[in-house]
Amino acid sequence: MARHLITSAIPYINGIKHLGNLVGSQLPADLYARFQRARGNEVLFLCATDEHGTPAELAAAKAGKPVAEYCAEMHAVQSGIADGFRLSFDHFGRSSSEQNKALTQHFAGRLADAGLIREVSEKQVYSNTDGRFLPDRYIEGTCPNCGYDKARGDQCENCTKQLDPTDLIDPRSAISGSTDLEVRETKHLYLCQSQMKDQLEEWIDTREGWPILTTSIAKKWLTDGDGLQDRGITRDLAWGVPVKKGTEDWPGMEGKVFYVWFDAPIEYIAAAQEWVDAGKGTDWERWWRTDKGADDVRYTQFMGKDNVPFHTLSFPATILGSGEPWKLVDYIKSFNYLNYDGGQFSTSQGRGVFMDQALEILPADYWRWWLLSHAPESSDSEFTWENFQTSVNKDLADVLGNFVSRVTKFCRSKFSEAVPEGGAYGPREEALIETLSTRIRAYEAHMEAMDVRKSAGELRAIWVAGNEYLQDAAPWTTFKTDPEAAAMQIRLALNLIRLYAVLSAPFIPDASAQMMEAMQTEDDSWPDDVPAALQLLTPGHAFTVPDVTFRKISDEEREGWQEQFSGIRS
């Protein structure tokens, strides 16, 4: 039995995420976790909410709530939505946890002792009206390059020119609109990543089979320009992990917190501690400490391409720099972007389908199937309502759902609600079993390799094989002249429903559970032996005819949703 530690990118706390966020990390991670569990392997699947930083403070202020209260409420909301999409986290933690606070301060102390943290004096914009230093993105003004009047202090969204806040004409606070700004000197801590460049590059070179997208982004950061740069790990904020050196105060850092990109990845480890402290598991160290048994763990991370630099460089720098035997990631599965209907998803404009809205209009399996079968692996992909409708109607309703309905209803009408007896396999059945055996092994290989779209394509081909057999065998015709042969064909088809339920569970868990319930079996054993798997439901075994597994999406519905999700979200 193999052991798999799986983490997906930690979603930020300020608001509900769109479908692009879902398919970029959490959903494919869940697919992989479910598959590994189905194969009998031990899995620890962790995620959390990322709760620190300026955006959390501003979102809380906009909601008129204390930031801690706001984060607690939004964690509950995001956790509920994750449940709605059937994301099978073993624990969904919080980066604001006491476990993460202690662990972050511990790592900072270890890095400081190793000489990998330095103090830097720098100048930042301070808003007298807001009574705070402003991160670059919270300073707005007119771009000196193109004249756009809403350019941010880090970049102009109109002409894409990189900027410093002092470059802006008529700068103002994006929080209050105040122009009462001044440049003040402040001190911050920097992680000396540049000292670890060679060690990080050597470590990356030992990772086997990483996607080109992952390695190319990491190598780019290592070699472009002046190479890997030191990174600030503190901020002048009130909300976050207080800056300490282990359990000791850090002179000169009073009132400061660690930068969210320093403490958020550490939450992966802290989430395992929370999992144990919540009574859900035992011995978190055997997953994370190589001196406590984690040396035989396979650790896989799932994330969008924008998160890759932090997980290939900054977080490993923290782990390696600590000098302690922590488990490092073995494989990073990275994804490109999912765009929306001719443009981009926009959280600020509410353009596109957000996770809560998706669940309001259709069950989770509809979304899970489309997103995974169109996962943006080799390039960006695009959600269109026409494609979504076609995929649901053809793949789920016509191929899988129709197979289940036809087989169970025919058996009930011509035999009974029990697996019929009689008949023996012929060449047609042997050919089907051979085809299924080949395709199931290919499906397993794609799933092991985390080739999401190829896995979906192979699963659909497995469904299609059953439909083609049913069309070719035509038991409704066979029954007229050879009832025993028809009984054998339907018995095989009923066993196919159970087989489809097992194979499909990682993609569409609710439909899988419905099919298992209809077949009145709890035997979800993986089909290592395909011929044996197709004889598990024996003559006389009772079943029920399920409700419609998947319904079709009408043109009117598609048109309505397309209009509904094209504009500003209220």
Strand segments (E) across 180-330? 181-191, 231-232, 234-235, 244-245, 248-249, 257-258, 297-304
Q: DSSP label at 12? A: B
User: Please, are residues 508 and 490 in contact by the beta-carbon 8 Å criterion?
Assistant: no
CB atoms within 10 A of CB 185: 9
- CA atoms of 7 and 310, how far apart (whole Å): 14
- CA atoms of 234 and 242, how far apart (whole Å): 9
User: Please, are residues 71 and 60 in contact by the beta-carbon 8 Å criterion?
Assistant: yes
Does the annotation flag 186 for ligand binding? no
Find the length of the chain: 570
User: Please, are residues 550 and 397 in contact by the beta-carbon 8 Å criterion?
Assistant: yes
- CA atoms of 15 and 60, how far apart (whole Å): 10
Does the annotation flag 159 for ligand binding? yes
- CA atoms of 350 and 535, how far apart (whole Å): 50
- CA atoms of 57 and 414, how far apart (whole Å): 65
Paired strand residues for 152: 140
Among 295, 313, 298, 288, residue whose Cα is nearest residue 214: 313
Paired strand residues for 258: 234
Among 52, 255, 236, residue whose Cα is nearest residue 135: 236
- CA atoms of 183 and 136, how far apart (whole Å): 12
Q: What's the token pair of residue 103?
A: 């662990």
Q: What's the token pair of residue 172?
A: 């103002």
- CA atoms of 300 and 420, how far apart (whole Å): 45
Among 456, 460, 439, residue whose Cα is nearest residue 447: 456
Does the annotation flag 71 for ligand binding? no
Residue 304's φ and ψ, nearest 5 degrees, are -75, 160
Does the annotation flag 143 for ligand binding? yes
The string of DSSP codes covering 507-568 is: T-HHHHHHHHHHTT-------SSHHHHTTSS-TT-B--PPSPSSPPPPHHHHHHHHHHTSS-
Does the annotation flag 411 for ligand binding? no
Residues making up the annotated binding site are 143, 146, 156, 159, 347
Residues making up the annotated binding site for ATP are 347
Residues making up the annotated binding site for Zn(2+) are 143, 146, 156, 159
